[in-house]
Structure 1
Amino acid sequence: MVRTYFLLLWTWTRAAAAYPASFALMTLLGFVTAGIDVAVILIVFANTTTLAGFSREEVLFLYGAASLSFTICDTFVSNIDRISQHIKAGTLDTFLIRPVGAWIQLTADRFNANRVGRIIQSALVLGYAIAALDLDWRRAWMIPVMVVTGVVIFAALWTFGGAMQFVLTDAPEVANAFTYGTQQLSQYPFSIYARDLVKGVTYVLPLAFINWQPGLYALSRDDPFGTPEFMRFLGPAAALVLALLAALAWRQGIRHYRSTGS
C-alpha cells in the first residue's frame, strides 16, 4: 500500500519535472508565498516586544511547528478535497474498483511536488526559532512529537472534510474552513483568543495539541488558561482518537456512496 502510494507520487512528480523551469519557478513561488505569514508576524513585532506574553522567537516557534505539520499534510493529503469533483463527474467509481484503497489514490491524485517549497520555508522558520531560543534540551524530544502529532491531526481533518463531501457533494469550502482555517488559528499563541474558544479547541476539537499544549512544554511555559500539566503530553492520544474517528467517517462515506451511473 505504501509502495503504491509513493509510486503514484513519483509518477505525478516526473510529469511535473518534464518542464524543469516551470517546476523550479513554482517551487520558488511556493516558498516566497509561504513567507507572507512570517512577514505578518515580523510586522506585528516591529511595533511591540511581546504578543500575549510571548516573544517574537516563541511565536515563530509555534508558527513553524504548526506550519511544518500543515504544509506536509497540504502536500501529501490535501488532494483528497478533490473528491467532490470526482463524485459530480462520476469518476470516483474508477477509484473504487481498483485494488488500492480510494483514500490512497485520492490523496496522491494530481500530486503537486512544487509545494515542497512551503515545507522548506516552514522547516527553516522552525529551525531558526529553535536556534534562537534558550530551550531546555531535556524537553527537545517534544518537538518532533509535536510535528508528527500535527500531521496526524491535519490529515484527520482533511479526511473528515473528504467524508463530508459524500453528503454535501459541492461544498469543499466547508471542509477548507476546518483545514486552512485551523492552520491560520494555530499560527499564533492561543492566549490571544477568548477562553471559551480555547476550551473548544482543547476539549472538543483537539487543535490545541497541534502546537499549543506541546509547545508550552517545549518552551517551559505555563498555560495562561491554567490547564493541568499532564495536558502537554496528550497530543498523540488526541491525534489517534481523531484519526480513528476520521477513518470511521471516511468508511461510512464510502459505504453510503451511490454511483452516478455515468
Structure 2
Amino acid sequence: MVSTYVRLAWTWTRAAAAYPASFALMTVLGFVTTGLELAVVLIIFANTTTLAGFSRDEVLFLYGAAGVSFALSDMFVSNIDRVSQHIKAGTFDTFLIRPVSTWLQLTADRFNANRIGRVLQAGLVLGYAVAALGLEWRRAWMIPVMVVTGFAIFAALWTLAGAAQFVLTDAPELANAFTYGGQQLTQYPFSVYGRDLVRGVTYALPMAFVNWQPGLYVLDRGDPLGTPEFMRFLGPAAALALALAAALAWRQGIRHYRSTGS
C-alpha cells in the first residue's frame, strides 16, 4: 500500500517538476503563507510576555508541533476532500474499478509536493522552540509521538469529512471546518479557550491530543484546566479510535455511493 502511494505521488511530483520555476514559487509561497500565521503569534508576544501562563517559546513549541502534524497531513491526505468533485463529475467510478484502495487513490490524486514548504516552516519553528526551551531529553521522546499522533488525527478528520460527502455531495467546506479550523485551534494553549470548548475537543473530538496534552508532558507543566496526569499519554489511543471510526465511515460512504452510470 505504501509503495503504491509512493509511485502515484511520484508521478504527480514529476509532472509538477516539469515546470521548475512554478514548483519553486509555490513551495516558497507555502512557506511564506504559513509564516503569516507565525507572525500573528509573534505580534501577540510583542505586547505581552505570557499567554494564559505560557511563554512565547512554549507557545511556539505548541504551534510548531501542531503545524508539522497538520502540514504533513495536508500534504499526504487532504486531497481526499476532492471526492465530491469526482462524484459530481462521474469520475469516481474510475477509482472503483482499479485494483487499489479508493482512499489511497484519492489521497494521492494530484499529489502536491510543493506543500513541503509548509512542513519546513513548521519544522523550523518546532526546532527553534525545542532548542530555546532546553527541554529535558527524558521527556523529549514524546515529541515524535505527538507529531505522529497529530498527523493521524488530522488524517482521520479529513477521511471523516470525505466520507460525509458521499451523503452531502457538495460540502467540501465541512472538511475545512474540522481540519483547517482544528489547526487554528491547536496553535495556542487550550487554556485560552472556554472550559466547555476544551472538554469538547478532549472527550468528543480529540484535538487536545494533537499537541496540548502531550505538550504539557514535554513542557513538564500541569494542565490549568485540571485534567488528570494520565491524559498526557492517551494520544495514540485517541488517534487509533478516531482512525477506526474514519475507516468505518469511509467504508459506509463507499457502500452508500451510487454510480452515475458514466
TM-score bracket, shorter-length normalisation: over 0.9
In the other structure, the counterpart of 2:147 is 147
Q: How many residues align?
A: 262
Q: How far did residue 2 of structure 1 move? A: 1.3
Q: Deviations over 1:143-178 (max 9, x none)?
A: 000000000000000000100000000011012101
Q: How far did residue 88 of structure 1 move? A: 0.3
Structure 2 residue 97 is the aligned partner of structure 1 residue 97: yes
Structure-to-structure mapping, 1:190-209, within 5 angstroms: 190-209=190-209
Q: How far did residue 261 of structure 1 move? A: 1.2
Structure 1: 4+ residue segments shifted above 4 A: none
Distance 1:29 1:200 in 2: 34
In the other structure, the counterpart of 1:118 is 118
Distance 2:198 2:136 in 1: 26
Q: How far did residue 134 of structure 1 move? A: 2.6
CA RMSD of aligned residues (A): 0.5
Distance 2:125 2:158 in 1: 24
Consecutive unaligned residues in structure 2, runs of 5 or more: none
Distance 1:146 1:201 in 2: 16
Q: How far did residue 193 of structure 1 move? A: 0.1
In the other structure, the counterpart of 2:174 is 174
In the other structure, the counterpart of 2:70 is 70
Q: How far did residue 115 of structure 1 move? A: 0.4
One-letter amino acid of the structure 1 residue matched with residue 252 of structure 2:
Q
Distance 2:261 2:181 in 1: 35
Distance 1:25 1:176 in 2: 24
In the other structure, the counterpart of 1:31 is 31
In the other structure, the counterpart of 2:228 is 228
Q: How far did residue 137 of structure 1 move? A: 1.1
Does structure 2 conserve the Cα–Cα contact (< 8 Å) formed by 1:75 and 1:116? yes
Distance 1:197 1:171 in 2: 24
Distance 1:204 1:58 in 2: 26
In the other structure, the counterpart of 1:243 is 243
Give the TM-score taking structure 2 as reference length.
0.99
In the other structure, the counterpart of 2:14 is 14
Structure 2 residue 37 is the aligned partner of structure 1 residue 43: no
In the other structure, the counterpart of 1:130 is 130
Q: Deviations over 1:187-216 (max 9, x none)?
A: 000000000100111111111000000000
State the secondary structure of the residue aligned to 1:135.
Answer: coil
In the other structure, the counterpart of 1:81 is 81
Q: Deviations over 1:104-150 (max 9, x none)?
A: 00000001111000000000000000000031111000000000000
Does structure 1 conserve the Cα–Cα contact (< 8 Å) formed by 2:167 and 2:256? no
Distance 1:37 1:137 in 2: 28
Give the TM-score taking structure 1 as reference length.
0.99
In the other structure, the counterpart of 1:216 is 216
Distance 2:102 2:174 in 1: 21
Distance 1:175 1:12 in 2: 23
In the other structure, the counterpart of 1:256 is 256
Consecutive unaligned residues in structure 1, runs of 5 or more: none
**Identical columns (%):** 81
One-letter amino acid of the structure 1 residue matched with residue 213 of structure 2:
Q
One-letter amino acid of the structure 2 residue matched with residue 79 of structure 1:
N
Does structure 2 conserve the Cα–Cα contact (< 8 Å) formed by 1:164 and 1:175? no
State the secondary structure of the residue aligned to 1:136.
Answer: coil
